[in-house]
């Protein structure tokens, strides 16, 4: 079966949006150029032992200098949308709140370039790169950071709002709280449950204030948030309780306050002494009506009870199943879990329409004779897009799908060791090469949108 025959088998609504996604720190580089100051990821990646091989985002994919040709590349993939994030410290390098003109010019070029190429710009305000000056002044535990975020959001809506298709406040706040403050894997690399809960709540407040600020600035700008909900399953019937607790902690702490104006009852009972004392008072600010939300999905999560009865809530342990297909980063491939996750979330919560804002796979195929034959990635994408189509056929309102990622890039704590891109990047030369999966995806988008195919 050819790539085009394969892609033509996927049936989706006519107005369904296909796109590609990136994030500022992962691709832009130019970390200290044109007025940009450090984010917590600059600090973290330059701290020995935090990122594999000592890799940093100093250069990354050099997108800051190659934005025009990279937008041409996106256009060649036949997608209708590009999801990107702003670098907060490129736009506002200091605590004084003065905008950096060079940063502003860059994002003007990026957004205008999208529109010139008929790409809908899907913008993210926060993809984990908190300005270091804000972290030094209390970070997400401080209400001052939430207020600064709202001011930043208002500026984005004021200046770019008439050119943006959508804006999301946070990308995966689970990662910038639990993964970063409880598990210590991401910046700033702490392992502190009370701080984690304070950061979760502080980000929720920032989200609510930012939505209010952007609504006041441009009432017709579609606004949302991106969450990486976990598809949680118990290992055996005897661990159903563990799966419930895991879901409440890793999903409920985000979905419940954002969409229902409360925290999960069992989590509150278990964690009440550690929660911010005024958390109940902030819930009306947090639960702002949204026009859409984004789901990032990669792999299911299998859990059991923690080994020790003394473990703090949720007292669960993740289990890696044997004899399953995995990507090169070690994540299990199970596409039907995406369908099941969407159905569960819409059954549990009152949710607006959804975009799949990230989905993809790490396969580290290298360039061979001018091409990259990454068939496993192509198969992964096809399976998961079919899972989205299955969810839509069962009544779930999914508006679009964004492949992660446009191109290989700085994969956070994994550095440059893991390649998620539809486009291969030679980091020594910055040469871009569309992979087999990229050609397949372009064929899918072409058949869906009635565009010309991408040349080999």
Which of 28, 256, 358, 379 is the catalytic position? 358
Q: Is 144 labeled as catalytic in the residue annotation?
A: no
Which of 28, 141, 172, 382 is the catalytic position? 172
8 Å CB contact between 444 and 7: yes
Q: Is 340 labeled as catalytic in the residue annotation?
A: no
Tell me which residues are annotated as active site.
Answer: 172, 358
């Amino acid at each position: 079966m050819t790539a085009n025959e394969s892609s033509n088998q996927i049936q989706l609504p006519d107005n369904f949006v296909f796109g590609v996604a990136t994030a500022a720190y992962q691709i832009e580089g130019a970390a200290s150029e044109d007025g940009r100051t450090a984010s917590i990821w600059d600090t973290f990646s330059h701290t020995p032992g935090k990122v594999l091989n000592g890799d940093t985002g100093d250069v990354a994919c050099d997108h800051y200098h190659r934005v025009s040709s990279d937008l041409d590349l996106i256009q060649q993939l036949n997608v209708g949308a590009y999801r990107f994030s702003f670098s907060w410290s490129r736009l506002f390098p200091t605590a004084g709140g003065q905008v950096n003109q060079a940063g502003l010019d860059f994002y003007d070029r990026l957004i205008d370039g999208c529109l010139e190429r008929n790409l809908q710009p899907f913008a993210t305000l926060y993809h984990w790169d908190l300005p270091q000056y804000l972290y030094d002044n209390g970070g997400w535990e401080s209400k001052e950071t939430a207020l600064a975020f709202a001011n930043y959001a208002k500026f984005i809506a004021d200046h770019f709002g008439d050119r943006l298709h959508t804006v999301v406040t946070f990308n995966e706040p689970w990662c910038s709280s639990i993964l970063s403050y409880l598990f210590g894997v991401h910046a700033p690399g702490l392992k502190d449950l009370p701080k984690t809960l304070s950061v979760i709540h502080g980000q929720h407040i920032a989200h609510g204030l930012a939505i209010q600020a952007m609504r006041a600035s441009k009432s017709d700008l579609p606004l949302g948030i991106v969450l990486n909900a976990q598809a949680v399953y118990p290992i055996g019937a005897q661990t159903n309780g563990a799966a419930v607790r895991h879901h409440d902690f890793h999903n409920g702490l985000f979905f419940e306050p954002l969409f229902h104006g409360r925290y999960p009852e069992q989590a509150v009972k278990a964690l009440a002494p550690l929660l911010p004392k005024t958390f109940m008072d902030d819930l009306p600010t947090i639960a702002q009506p949204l026009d859409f939300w984004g789901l990032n999905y990669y792999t299911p999560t299998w859990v059991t009870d923690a080994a020790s009865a003394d473990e703090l809530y949720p007292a669960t342990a993740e289990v890696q199943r044997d004899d399953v297909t995995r990507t090169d980063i070690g994540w299990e491939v199970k596409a039907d879990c995406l369908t099941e996750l969407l159905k569960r979330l819409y059954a549990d919560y009152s949710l607006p329409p959804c975009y799949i804002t990230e989905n993809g796979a790490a396969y580290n195929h290298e360039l061979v004779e001018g091409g990259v034959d990454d068939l496993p990635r192509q198969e992964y994408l096809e399976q998961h897009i079919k899972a989205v189509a299955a969810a839509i056929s069962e009544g779930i309102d999914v508006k679009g799908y964004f492949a992660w990622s446009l191109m290989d890039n700085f994969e956070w704590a994994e550095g440059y060791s893991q390649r998620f891109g539809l486009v291969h990047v030679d980091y020594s030369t910055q040469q871009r090469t569309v992979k087999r999966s990229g050609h397949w995806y372009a064929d899918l988008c072409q058949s869906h949108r009635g565009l010309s195919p991408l040349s080999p």
